[in-house]
């Protein structure tokens, strides 16, 4: 056998041995990969299931709690919608480890706790709410019952959470066992690789002396090629690769290249995730318009406009613009793409999926998308701002109207009451002047009439002055002023007003006294106009940290759910809107409790600084 043949045979033997050992190593490596994949998949599934169960249970409990607080059955929709998903997740969890008795026992315990909570906690709380709504129990008994039941419910949820943790621990234990097996297979693979390396080195060393010149030459070429590739020129190809040493260098070069690529890809991915998170969780809606169609829409934009992301993608951007704003928006869009200077921010009306019109503030900029000019648009919902502007406008109109009505009323009273009284006094004075020679009795009668007219005029002036600004409020404080107003209100309307005040009311800030007085005055005015009541109970409590006011009538009441949805709810003088605006200057809050035929109760709370002792 020639030397060349021996060399070829030696390399053939090396290659054959390496193929055999490599096949075994590849098989073991695939087995390790399969084990790790199975471990990761089950752990991911179990984590996902426990998270989903926690989320669904919280949604159910949240919906139930809202129903218990308000009595509105629409909040039970969230409870009912999440019942089936909970059962689905339990079924998925049961199928994850069908042969594990410990795991199956935990699933059964968890399912039993779910059933226990539904049947003994949720249903009991709903029943208590129904008893409260039907008047079978009072609010205090209801709150006590709900607290007791909720305590048991929290215990059940705590046990459910503990079982979720045990399920995760069971999965992690299984992961640990399989990971140990994987490590054993990996160690076996490592030994095989060591055998391959040792065999290759040994046999190559025998041939190295004979082939040193040729190997050195080939080695240099491969090293140079590897260095070129490691700089980033991936188009370069190695012409000859004949020995393992060169392959090791090449492997190192490829590793370097792979590391650089990995770093670049990782940085790019992190950047994409960061900006994706910013876009998805921004308060404003964000969209990209390409060829007049939406190619991207953020979650917030879909919430604003009412469409799903799958619905909005591909839709014409002008199709959601209100008819009155189409030409305006289209002109700006066209000019911006042409590079003309247009304002970045403007307002326009858009049509939501349900047909409602909504004002949005639009900011836009030109970007590149698929190597073409496109438009990045930011949409801000300004419905609240528009509503606030409308409320301010309406309030201003109401203030002007109220001022004009007040002026008209004062003018009318001056004309009808004081003017007529003064005219009558003037007539009596003229009669007295002309009848100085008349009897003393007749003159005395005229003087008595004149005195009564003067006293009536004084009373009318006092009454008008009180209505404008009661001096009792400035001289004697809030409570006496409210008592006086309650008495005059009762005389004027026939509605009995009972005033109860608790706490210390001296040395209140004058501006605070004025606001409380005007709020009570406006509330009683609303009672006279709308309530058709016979009695009003006004309670005031001055606590250390706040002032509480309760004004309750026995009138016809109204449906609060219907009226809160009515944009005209605050009409009628300044009404509820005026009370809200007065209280907002003090960071105060108020609530309305009412039902048809059940009267109305206005609850007000104003925070105050604790009073400091005088020095």
Answer with the one of 331, 356, 383 that is the final residue of a domain: 383
Instruction: Tell whether 258 is covered by a domain.
Output: no
DSSP codes, 311-373: HHTT-BGGGGB-GGGHHHHHHHHHHHHTT----SEEEEEEE-TTS-EEEEEEEEEEEEETTEE
Statement to judge: residues 481 and 358 lie in one domain: no
Residue 219 structure tokens: 């080695």
Instruction: Tell whether 119 is covered by a domain.
Output: yes
- Range of 298's domain? 282-383
Answer with the one of 137, 165, 184 that is the final residue of a domain: 184
Statement to judge: residues 154 and 26 lie in one domain: yes
Bridge partners (DSSP) of residue 498 are 537
Instruction: Tell whether 393 is covered by a domain.
Output: no
Instruction: Tell whether 447 is covered by a domain.
Output: no
Q: What is the CATH number of the domain that holds 288?
A: 3.30.450.20
Statement to judge: residues 297 and 166 lie in one domain: no
Summarize pLDDT for 11-64 with one digit per residue, the tens: 677 677 667 766 766 776 676 667 667 767 777 787 888 888 888 888 888 888
Statement to judge: residues 379 and 484 lie in one domain: no
Q: What is the tally of structural domains in the chain?
A: 3
Q: Quote the strand ranges of 474-532, DSSP E.
A: 496-502
pTM exceeds cut of 0.85: no
Give the per-residue pLDDT at 81: 83
Instruction: Tell whether 4 is covered by a domain.
Output: no
Instruction: Tell whether 423 is covered by a domain.
Output: no
Give the per-residue pLDDT at 386: 76
Answer with the one of 133, 149, 184 that is the final residue of a domain: 184
DSSP codes, 398-451: HHHHHHHHHHHHHHHHIIIIIIHHHHHHHHHHHHHHHTTTS-HHHHHHHHHHHH
Instruction: Tell whether 263 is covered by a domain.
Output: no
Residue 11 structure tokens: 């390399």
What does the alpha-carbon distance between residue 245 and residue 384 come to, in Å, rounded to a whole number?
A: 73
Residue 523 structure tokens: 């509330």
In the chain, which stretches have pLDDT less than 50? 1-3, 218, 240, 245-247, 250-251, 254, 258, 565-573, 612-615
Instruction: Tell whether 553 is covered by a domain.
Output: yes
**In 119-157, which positions are buried (b, 16+ CB within 10 angstroms) versus exposed (e)?**
eebbebbbebbeebeeeebeeeebeebbeebbeebeebb
């Amino acid at each position: 056998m020639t030397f060349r043949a021996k060399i070829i045979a030696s390399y053939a033997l090396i290659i054959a041995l390496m193929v055999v050992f490599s096949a075994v190593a590849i098989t073991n490596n695939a087995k390790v990969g399969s084990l790790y994949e199975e471990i990761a998949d089950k752990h991911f599934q179990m984590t996902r299931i426990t998270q989903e169960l926690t989320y669904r249970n919280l949604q159910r409990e949240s919906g139930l709690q809202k129903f218990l607080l308000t009595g509105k059955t629409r909040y039970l929709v969230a409870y009912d919608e999440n019942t089936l998903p909970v059962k689905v997740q339990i079924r998925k969890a049961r199928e994850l480890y069908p042969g594990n008795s410990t795991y199956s026992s935990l699933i059964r315990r968890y399912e039993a706790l779910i059933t226990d909570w539904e049947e003994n906690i949720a249903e009991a709380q709903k029943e208590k709410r129904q008893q409260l709504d039907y008047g079978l129990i009072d609010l205090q008994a209801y709150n006590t019952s709900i607290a007791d039941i909720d305590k048991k419910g929290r215990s059940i949820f705590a046990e459910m959470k503990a079982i979720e943790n045990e399920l995760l621990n069971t999965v992690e234990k299984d992961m640990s066992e399989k990971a140990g097996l994987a490590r054993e297979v990996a160690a076996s693979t490592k030994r095989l690789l060591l055998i391959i390396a040792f065999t290759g080195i040994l046999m190559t060393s025998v041939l190295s002396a004979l082939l040193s010149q040729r190997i050195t030459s080939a080695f240099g070429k491969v090293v140079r090629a590897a260095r070129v590739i490691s700089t980033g020129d991936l188009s370069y190809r190695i012409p000859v690769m004949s020995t393992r040493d060169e392959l090791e260098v090449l492997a190192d070069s490829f590793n370097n290249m792979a590391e650089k690529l990995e770093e670049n890809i990782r940085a790019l991915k992190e950047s994409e995730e960061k900006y994706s998170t910013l876009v998805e969780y921004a308060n404003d809606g964000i969209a990209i318009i390409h060829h007049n169609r939406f190619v991207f829409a953020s979650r917030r934009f879909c919430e604003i406009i009412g469409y799903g992301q799958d619905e909005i993608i591909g839709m014409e951007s002008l199709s959601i613009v209100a008819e009155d704003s189409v030409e305006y928006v289209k002109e700006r869009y066209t000019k911006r793409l042409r590079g003309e200077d247009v304002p970045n921010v403007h307002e326009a009306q858009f049509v939501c999926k349900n047909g409602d019109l909504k004002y949005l503030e639009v900011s836009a900029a030109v970007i590149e998308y698929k190597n073409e000019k496109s438009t990045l648009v930011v949409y801000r919902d300004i419905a609240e701002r528009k509503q606030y502007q409308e409320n301010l406008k309406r309030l201003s109109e109401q203030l002007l109207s109220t001022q004009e009505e007040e002026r008209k009323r004062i003018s009318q009273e001056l004309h009808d009451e004081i003017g007529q009284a003064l005219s009558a006094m003037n007539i009596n004075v003229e009669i007295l002047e002309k009848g100085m020679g008349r009897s003393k009795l007749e003159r005395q009668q005229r003087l008595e009439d004149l005195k009564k007219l003067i006293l009536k005029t004084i009373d009318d002036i006092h009454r008008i002055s009180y209505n404008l600004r009661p001096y009792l409020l400035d001289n004697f404080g809030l409570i006496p002023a409210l008592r006086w107003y309650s008495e005059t209100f009762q005389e004027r309307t026939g509605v009995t007003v009972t005033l109860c005040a608790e706490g210390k009311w001296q040395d209140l800030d004058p501006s605070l006294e004025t606001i409380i007085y005007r709020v009570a005055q406006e509330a009683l005015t609303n009672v006279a106009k709308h309530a058709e009541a016979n009695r009003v109970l006004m309670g005031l409590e001055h606590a250390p940290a706040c002032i509480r006011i309760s004004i309750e009538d026995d009138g016809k009441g109204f449906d609060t759910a219907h009226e809160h949805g009515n944009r005209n709810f605050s009409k009628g003088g300044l009404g509820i809107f005026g009370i809200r605006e007065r209280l907002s200057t003090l960071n105060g809050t108020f609530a309305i409790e009412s039902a048809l035929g059940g009267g109305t109760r206005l609850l007000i709370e104003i925070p105050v600084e604790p009073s400091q002792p005088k020095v």
